[in-house]
Amino acid sequence: MTETVDDRLHRLQGELNGHDRIARHLGLDFNRPIKSLGDGYPENTVSLVGKIAERLLKQLWTHHDVPGDPSGRALNDLIKGCRPHIRSTNVINAFTDIQRLRNRSSHDGYEIAEEDGLLAVRRLLDVLDWFTSTDVTAITGDAPSLDPFVEQRAEFLSGLYATLGYKAIKRFELSESTVYQLFCRQMGLQAEYVEIMLSRSLEELTQLLVATGGELLNTQLPKHTRFLIVEDEPSEDVAPFADGEISIVAYERFIERIVDVPSHLSELALSYPHTQPRDGAPLRISADVLEADQHTGEMTVTATYDAGEILRRLAGTSANILVIGGPGSGKTTLLKRLAADGSIPARHRYRFYLDMSTKESGEDFGDFVTRILHPYMTVPRNRVFDVFLYLIRAGSVLCVLDAIDEAVPNTSLEAFLGVFSDVAQALSAESTVVMSSRYSFLADSPEVRRLLNSSSLISERLVQQLHAGGVDPLELPRFSVVRLGDLKLRTDEQVYSVSPLELRLAQQTGRLAQGAAAFAGGLLSDLVAARVDQVLNSVGHADLLPKLEGYFGPAFLADQAVFSLADICTHAGIECFTEGRVTWETFLLAPLFRPTGPGTVALVHTVFQEYFAARYLRTAAGRRAAAGNPEPILTEQVREFLVHLGAEAIPAPPQTLPVGTYLVGPSHRLLLRTIDRPVLFDEFPVTVGRYKAFLAAVAEQGCAQWDHPDTPSGHSHEPWQERLRNPEYFTDPAYDDHPVSCVNWWSAYAFARFEGKRLPTCVEWEVAARGTDGRLFPWGDDLDLAAVNCADSWSGRPLVTYEVWKEEIDGGRLRDCAPTAVTDHPANLSPFGVRDMSGNVWEWTETVFDGINSAVICGGSYDNPYRAVQTSSKALYLRRGSSNAVGFRCVREV
């Protein structure tokens, strides 16, 4: 039988009447929304519900002393201000739905239907049910009679069961330290009941039960769960009460009935490595720490000898922590130990470790948390994430989100903002969230930039994202940033800087016993390769390497980090297992992997999969296939491995850029791009001598035949004399072998046409500079100040940060730097035989942005620090611009 509108209104009115305590206390009229709906005015119902929601939130705002005056604030602002004090995701969503409906109601052109009014009332009931269940005295108006300590615990338990979908049916306060609560949850036709007697004293509780004959816990209800919750763990000889189904448990242990934290942490403790130096002394990783004073906001940087100790100290507060460090710097080991550490202060009774590298591509954060924690929770799967958030918002959780950078599709600012906004709902002003990343995405001051080697800033965007997600940044403590340093290892009277991973691999492969020889060359690359070879040789299957790189390499590029043993068997062969059985126990390659779930594994460290990805990208066919992915995952470590391994060269005549797929882009945004037609590059940039020949031809023949169609009228191809730092640059023959400068894009374009050539695109230019392996400089990855004309070579020292370079500029120590002859740096030679591409002068390219009348320039110049003269360095410059630091070179299509 279909329920009529009147029936629904009558039922909703009855449910609202059940919250008359709140109505009386706050002077609210719960009848008006129902009456308006019955009269056919659903828009009035939505408006009235919105006003009731505002009144509830203002009361909560005042009760919790939220900074600022709540009067006059919009509903959206009230939700943001009160959010940290509402632990239920459902209630926050209910308030948000009410806000959305009211916004629609007040917007012209949107018609509010009857169902909208009904939904607004239903969501209001969700809010009222929560406040009634948790007995928030500021809302209900009940005078507290319980001991505040007991009241706090009773509210926590009420909120927990409300999160699980129960409603409070009865509540009796038997004394100031004892309270009885009855909860019920309807599951289809079946009702589930939970009875809880909470007391500080088991003795007092026993006396109360004896006085009542245990009647309170002998109700004639369907089968239900009964708990006696007391302060201390009862001794084993305490007999159960009543029918024997009553569990007596200490409050601090009660949550273990719902969340099996010990099992979660016991598996964690078995999974982290226990690396020790050769002398057996404890492994201590140093760190730089950036902290903000919670009152003044002033940021200070300090150094600590023991990163583990600083993490334990910060985790004992309500600070959120970002741990950064390179591959193998010990982030995961430190964070796993932190989560499994039983000495963490009691305020963090519940500890969760979530390996974000195992988050599947496109998987929602809530689904990911549910998948990881469901095996450890005795709650329906659809309630796991709600319970997780409830515990965090209750301020009782230490939550570790390890390898958060591996959960982003790329290392762009937008990607980090996306994943951060996803996990922001897990941030709390009381709980502690610890994240780890190879990259910082929280730099927000000059102090941070110094600490993080000039990492990019996103503080303003981060604050905007938090606001958009309903999280008030003022309610969150600032992140403390911990940057891990290398270990200092003394071998053969020399001190080497190594990461914990490099030390562990050196131990495993026996390299550590070789002394100084173990730490020569590309340390991490050599050690990873040696470890892979060691494991394969130990099981007699060195021939498996091509299969491994052919399976795990493309998987990494496609953002897959978790693999089933069955799939490994399919792609690598049954020979990876013994006895013909596909199990973890029979997996011959287990030393290279770690279990992630029933029948699934991941590489023991991300760098191993990055190594396989680099091996896969060594070949032209591998790069071509990888470019077929919409967004292949390319990390800086993959690029470093590729350079160390050496990509296969593509045969081509000198200075010819052949057809193929190449690695391009800065370290935080590496891409694969395809050159689909070969081009012949000028060996050197265009020189003053060559350009003077062009000027002579222009003087004799005019320039119309070479000019770009959009060249401004009256344009002269003469260099901008007023801009020249050296007035004799174009008149003294001594400068004929120097790169041309102070000519704009229009002139560069015309010159290229004059020689029967064109300007290179920015992609062609970069590929010609860095070759098939994606190197940082034309000669490789190593800094060589003798090979390049840049600010560092004029200063005679590396100018690592922007601040140091700026000090050199402001101090006048770079006033003499200038272009040099294009033949002065013979080591500045690209893999394709093109010279002087790094530094000396920026070079115009054919790539233009018509909307802003600008073109891309590449390569950096003589007054830029070496960081800005890498093969990926690009900038935009107005096409009409002329500079002493900008020249060009040409290409001819083959």
**Single-letter residue type at 868:** A
The answer to whether the CB of 577 falls within 8 A of the CB of 586 is yes
The answer to whether the CB of 232 falls within 8 A of the CB of 250 is yes
> CA 745 to CA 715: how far, in whole Å?
11
Report long-range pairs for 169-175 (Cβ below 8 Å, ≥24 apart).
169/193, 171/135, 172/216, 173/145, 173/146, 174/208, 175/204, 175/208
Q: Kindly provide the residue ranges of all beta strands, DSSP E only, lying in 485-624, ordered along the sequence.
A: 487-491, 494-498, 563-564, 593-597, 600-603
The answer to whether the CB of 315 falls within 8 A of the CB of 327 is no
The answer to whether the CB of 502 falls within 8 A of the CB of 488 is no
Helices (H) and strands (E) in the chain, counts: 31, 26
SS (H, E, C) 761-807: CHHHHHHHHHCCCCCCECCECCCCHHHCECHHHHHCCCCCCHHHHHH
Q: Which residues contact 517 (CB under 8 A, 6 or more apart)?
A: 511
Of 745, 743, 760, residue with least CA distance to 695: 743
Looking up tokens 């296969």 gives 648
> CA 365 to CA 394: how far, in whole Å?
20
Instruction: Take residue 420 and report the two structure tokens written for it.
Output: 């951060």
The answer to whether the CB of 595 falls within 8 A of the CB of 585 is no
What is the CA 789 to chain-centroid distance, rounded? Answer: 37
Q: 129 to each of 17, 90, 169, 222, 353, how far by Cα in Å?
A: 12, 11, 11, 23, 32
Which backbone phi and psi does 269 adopt, to 5 degrees? -60, -25
Q: 652 to each of 177, 645, 649, 832, how far by Cα in Å?
A: 86, 21, 9, 8
> CA 610 to CA 223: how far, in whole Å?
55
**Single-letter residue type at 356:** M
pLDDT, position 614: 97
The answer to whether the CB of 791 falls within 8 A of the CB of 656 is no
β 350-355/487-491 pair status: unpaired
DSSP state of 316: T
> CA 136 to CA 62: how far, in whole Å?
13
pLDDT, position 203: 76
> CA 458 to CA 841: how far, in whole Å?
31
pLDDT, position 100: 87
- Alpha helix ranges (H) inside 718-758: 745-754
Instruction: Take residue 513 and report the two structure tokens written for it.
Output: 């016993």
Q: Which residues of 332-367 are buried (b: 16+ CB within 10 A; e: fewer)?
A: bbbbbbbbbbeebeebbbbbbbbbbbbbeeeeebbe
What is the CA 391 to chain-centroid distance, rounded? Answer: 22
- Three-class secondary structure of residue 732 per DSSP: coil
Q: Strands of 563-564's sheet, edge to edge?
A: 563-564, 600-603, 593-597
Looking up tokens 């949107």 gives 110
| Cα-based angle 501, 505, 508 (whole degrees, multiple of 5) | 140
Q: How many residues does the chain have?
A: 894
How many alpha carbons fall within 13 Å on the CB side of residue 728?
4
The answer to whether the CB of 18 falls within 8 A of the CB of 169 is no
**Single-letter residue type at 433:** V
pLDDT, position 455: 31
- Three-class secondary structure of residue 471 per DSSP: coil
Looking up tokens 């390769």 gives 529
Of 564, 586, 585, residue with least CA distance to 575: 586
Q: Strands of 432-437's sheet, edge to edge?
A: 299-304, 287-292, 479-484, 320-324, 432-437, 397-402, 350-355
pLDDT, position 158: 87
Which backbone phi and psi does 630 adopt, to 5 degrees? -60, -45
> CA 601 to CA 361: how far, in whole Å?
16
- Three-class secondary structure of residue 269 per DSSP: helix
Q: Which residues contact 814 (CB under 8 A, 6 or more apart)?
A: 791, 794, 795, 808, 863
Looking up tokens 């790329």 gives 410
> CA 7 to CA 573: how far, in whole Å?
65
The answer to whether the CB of 677 falls within 8 A of the CB of 893 is yes
The answer to whether the CB of 160 falls within 8 A of the CB of 387 is yes
**Single-letter residue type at 404:** I
**Single-letter residue type at 269:** A
DSSP state of 429: S
Looking up tokens 């979530």 gives 354
Instruction: Take residue 518 and report the two structure tokens written for it.
Output: 């173990």
> CA 437 to CA 331: how far, in whole Å?
8
> CA 43 to CA 102: how far, in whole Å?
8
DSSP letters of 323-355? EE--TTSSHHHHHHHHHH-TTS-TT--EEEEEE
What does pTM read for this prediction?
0.76
The answer to whether the CB of 840 falls within 8 A of the CB of 885 is no
The answer to whether the CB of 629 falls within 8 A of the CB of 558 is yes
Rounded average pLDDT per 10-residue block, the chain, 894 residues:
67 83 86 89 91 91 85 87 79 88 74 87 87 72 71 85 86 81 83 85 72 59 71 60 67 85 76 51 76 59 82 79 87 88 66 90 90 92 91 84 86 71 73 84 45 35 45 51 80 75 88 68 84 95 95 93 95 93 95 91 94 96 90 90 90 94 90 95 97 96 94 92 91 96 97 97 97 94 90 84 80 89 96 96 96 95 90 94 96 93
The answer to whether the CB of 388 falls within 8 A of the CB of 339 is no
Instruction: Take residue 850 and report the two structure tokens written for it.
Output: 């018509």
Instruction: Take residue 224 and report the two structure tokens written for it.
Output: 């239900």
Which element (helix H / strand E) includes 287? strand 287-292
> CA 433 to CA 873: how far, in whole Å?
36
pLDDT, position 568: 96
**Single-letter residue type at 762:** C
Looking at the DSSP assignment, which residues form a beta bridge with residue 299? 292
